[in-house]
Structure 1
Amino acid sequence: MDFALSSETAALCDRIRHFVAAEVLPLEEDPANYDAHENICLDVLERVRSKAKAEGLWSLQMPKERGGGGLNTVAMAACYEEMARSIFGPVVFNSAAPDDGNMFVLNRVATEAQKERWLQPIIDGKVRSAFAMTEPAPGSGSDPSAMLTRAERRNDRWIVNGHKWFITGAGEAKHFILLAKTSDDPRKGLTAFLVAHDQPGFRVGRRIPIMGPEEHGGHCEVHLENLEIPDEDRLMEVGDGLKLTQIRLGTARLTHCMRWLGMAKRAVEIAAPYVRERKSFGATLAEHEGVQWMLGEVAMEIEIGRLLTMKAAATLDSGDFARKEVSMAKVAVSETLHKAIDTAIQLCGARGYSKDTRLEWMYRYARQARLVDGASEVHKMVLARNYMKEGSGFWSWH
């Protein structure tokens, strides 16, 4: 196993690191650069996005022929980690959720006509997108088969009725991927569709207040009332909706891990200078054994998360769905993110708890990590099923 990055990827990581340091991190320090939901203001974002495009650092996960960088998943893991050193970083490079996962799945499964209409504007940064699957109880959440939204075919059109909620980015999204039930088949009962925000029968409702800072567009309810969708806007075949979610969410879950690792490293980066300088009982905090244990444990767990993420990335690049590899990374990195930030706050004391650092922002943001794209408990169920099926083969080097 070779963990060395290619020279091209290493050079790209250096360019991203320098761009984040020079152009993005300074933006965090000015309260005027934040919107009402604690994310980067859109006018500021557009300015720094223009700089990222000019530097050739835009949509790196997309094919070169569509204006991207053509990175594979392993290279994405290294680059996304660098982007997420800033809380504003991923969206600056057009590598933030949910657009990131939507671009990936559309590039994989959409027809050429669909890519031109629905994908290319997202790659170009002209529109934002959302993935509408989650529903209020007893509808679909971690279990998509519980979906209540239904689509009925009438000649060359589909009529959709239902209610979605906690749809990330829906408040500003123009393009949506919508999942609906088209039959009662437990495996082939879901179908995916492409929908524009202004189609009759499609309405974005309440923006749901949440604990942490929000992505642009928030987390909204979506109401579907006799929404008509032409069959040409169906993604994949009828009944392939569950397959589409697996294609999308495998990579999307892992890109969360890539970004979370960058944020975890940033948290330690904030704490490290403080413990080097702050003195207590005749010595710097860094000289106290208890502080060394705290820092050493977090550093080790971040590295474990990186190794799990890289293994999952390499498995995806081999053509495998990497279900168990992605689940292991998702569980481990989501917990590491919280621990790294919590440890950094503890080491920085009152300063860490205040808004003088970005740690309190990160702390509120991090709590969602164990919920989004499948709760940790669901991923542990996946791992248990894989182990019961594979036995000792679960730990195969292949």
Structure 2
Amino acid sequence: MDFQISPRIEDFRARIAAFVEEELIPLEAREDSYDDHENIRLDLLDRMREKARAQGLWCLQLKQETGGQDLGRMGMAVCYEAMNRSIFGPCVFNSAAPDDGNMMVLEQVGTDDQKERWLQPIVQGKVRSAFSMTEPHPGGGSDPSMIRTRAEKHGDTYRIYGHKWYITGAGVADHFILMARTSDDPRYGLTAFLHHKDAPGWEIRRRIPIMGPEEHGGHCEIIYDGLEIPARDVLMEEGQGLKVTQIRLGPARLTHCMRWLGLAKRCVEIAREYAAEREGFGIKLKDRESVQLMLGGLAMKIEIGRLLVMKAAWALDQGSFARQEVSMAKIQVANVLHEAADIAIQINGARGYSKDTVLEWIYRYARQARLVDGADEVHRMVLNRFLDKEGSDFWKWQVADG
């Protein structure tokens, strides 16, 4: 097992780290950097994006012919972690959800026409996108086979009827990937569609208030009432929607983990800085054994997360869906992010609970990590299924050819 990264990836990591330190971290301390939903103000985001693009730090996850740098999943793991040292980082480098996952799936399975019309505007930063899948009960959530939104075919057109909610980014999205049912077949009953915000027959019912902070465009509830989509805007083929979700959601879950590791490390950084300067009862916090145990434990858990993420990234680069590896990484990193924010606030005391640092922002954001893209319990169930199927082979080593 080789844990070294290439000089090219290290160059990107170092340049990203410098950009984050010099351009983004200072913005976090300014009240006027934020919009009404506690994310980076859009006009400021546009300026930062132009700077990142000018430095060649744009859409690194995509192939070079698409407009990226073809770093592979392992290179992405290194760079995404560096990007999300800042809470503003991912969207500045065009690597934030849901655009990130949408771009990768369109690049992988879109036709040439679909890549030109639906992918390139996202790559170029001209539009934002959303992935419209999750539904209220009794519809689909973590289990896409429960999706009830239906697509009725009329000649060369599909009409969509259904109800979606918690659709991230929908409030500012122009391009949508929509999951709908075209038959009752348990394996081939779902179809993925592409639609534009200006098409009639759908509406955003509300932007759902959340514990926050929010991604740009929020988390929206959507009604589809006769939206017409031409057959050429089916992604892959009719009945291949479940495969589209598998292709999209696995890597997207892992990229969440890559980014969350950066936030977890930032929490430790803030905690260590404060512990080094804060003194009480004649001793600095950093010299108290209780604080050392907390920070040392976090360092270990973050490193466990990094190793799980890198193994999953390696498996994806080998062409695997990496379901086991992604589920393990998702559980570990989601939980360590929440723990890192909690411990950092505890060490900082009232300062951590205030808005004088980004810790309270990260803490509120971190609570969703154990829910989005599959709750912890769902991923543990997935792992148990593999354990039942494979037995002791669950832990087998991969043997190299030759």
CA positional deviation for 1:392: 1.0
The residue aligned with 1:384 is 384
Is the contact between residue 134 and residue 141 of structure 2 (CA under 8 Å) also seen in structure 1?
A: yes
Query: Please, which moves more after superposition, 209-218 or 199-208?
Result: 199-208
Per the normalisation by structure 2, the TM-score is 0.98
Cα separation, 1, equivalents of 2:165 and 2:370: 18
Q: How does 1:333-348 map to 2 (within 5 A)?
A: 333-348=333-348
Match of 2:159, SS?
Answer: strand
Q: Which residue of the partner structure matches residue 87 of structure 2?
A: 87
What is the correspondence of 1:139-158 to structure 2 with a 5 Å cutoff? Answer: 139-158=139-158
Whichever residue aligns with residue 221 of structure 1, its letter is E
One-letter identity of the residue aligned with 2:396? S
* TM-score, normalization by structure 1: 0.99
Residues 155-170 of structure 1 correspond to what in structure 2 (within 5 A)? 155-170=155-170
Amino acid at match of 1:289: E
Q: Deviation per CA, 1:213-254, whole angstroms, max 9, x where unpaired?
A: 000000001111111110000001111111100100000000
What amino acid is aligned across from residue 243 of structure 1 in structure 2? K
Matched, 1:127 2:130: no
Q: Once the two structures are superposed, what CA deviation does each residue of 1:251-310 show, in whole Å capped at 9, x if it has no partner?
A: 000000000000000001111111011112221111111111000000000000000000
Measure, in 2, the Cα distance between the counterparts of 1:397 and 1:370: 29
Conserved? CA contact 2:387–2:394, under 8 Å? yes
Counterpart code for 2:147: M
**For 1:331-384, what per-residue CA distance to the aligned partner results, in whole angstroms no more than 9, with x for missing partners?**
000000000110100001111011000000000000000000011110000000
**Alpha-carbon distance between aligned partners in 2 of 1:307 and 1:260, rounded to the nearest angstrom:** 14
Partners of 1:322 and 1:312 in 2: CA distance: 6
Matched residue, 1:64 = 64
Q: Name the % identity.
A: 66
Matched with 2:209 is 209
Corresponding position: 1:24 with 2:20: no
Moved more, 58-67 or 245-254: 58-67
**AA in 1 matched with 2:98:** P
Alignment: residue pair count: 398
- What displacement does 1:145 show? 1.0
- Matched to 1:322, the amino acid is A
What residue number does 1:4 align with? 4
Q: Deviations over 1:61-119 (max 9, x none)?
A: 11111221111000000000000000000000000000000001000100010000000
3-state SS in 1 of match to 2:171: coil
Contact 2:66–2:107 under 8 Å retained in 1: no
Q: What is aligned with 2:238?
A: 238
State the SS of the aligned residue for 2:184: coil
Alpha-carbon separation, structure 1, partners of 2:128 and 2:66: 17
Letter in 2 for 1:125: G
Mapped to 2, the partners of 1:277 and 1:396 lie a distance apart of 47
Partner of 2:354: 354
Residue number in structure 1 paired with 2:183: 183
Corresponding residue SS for 2:162? strand
- 2:108 corresponds to: 108
- Find the residue that maps to 1:192 and give its secondary structure: strand
CA distance in 1, matches of 2:67, 2:142: 34
Residue 202 of structure 1 and its aligned partner are, at CA, apart by: 2.0
Match of 2:323 in 1: 323
Q: Partners of 1:174 and 1:134 in 2: how far apart?
A: 18
CA contact (8 A) 2:302 2:333 kept: yes
Match of 1:312 in 2: 312
The separation in 1 between residues aligned to 2:333 and 2:187, in whole angstroms, is 30
- Counterparts of 2:299 and 2:289 in 1: how far apart (Å)? 15
Unaligned runs of 5+ in 1: none
> Amino acid of the residue matched to residue 322 of structure 2?
A
Deviation at 1:22, TM superposition (A): 0.7
CA distance in 2, matches of 1:185, 1:247: 20
Structure 2: which 5+ residue stretches go unaligned? none
- Give the whole-Å Cα distance in 1 for the aligned partners of 2:277 and 2:159: 64
Distance in 2 of aligned mates of 1:391 and 1:5: 33
Which residue identity lines up with residue 2 of structure 2 in the other structure? D
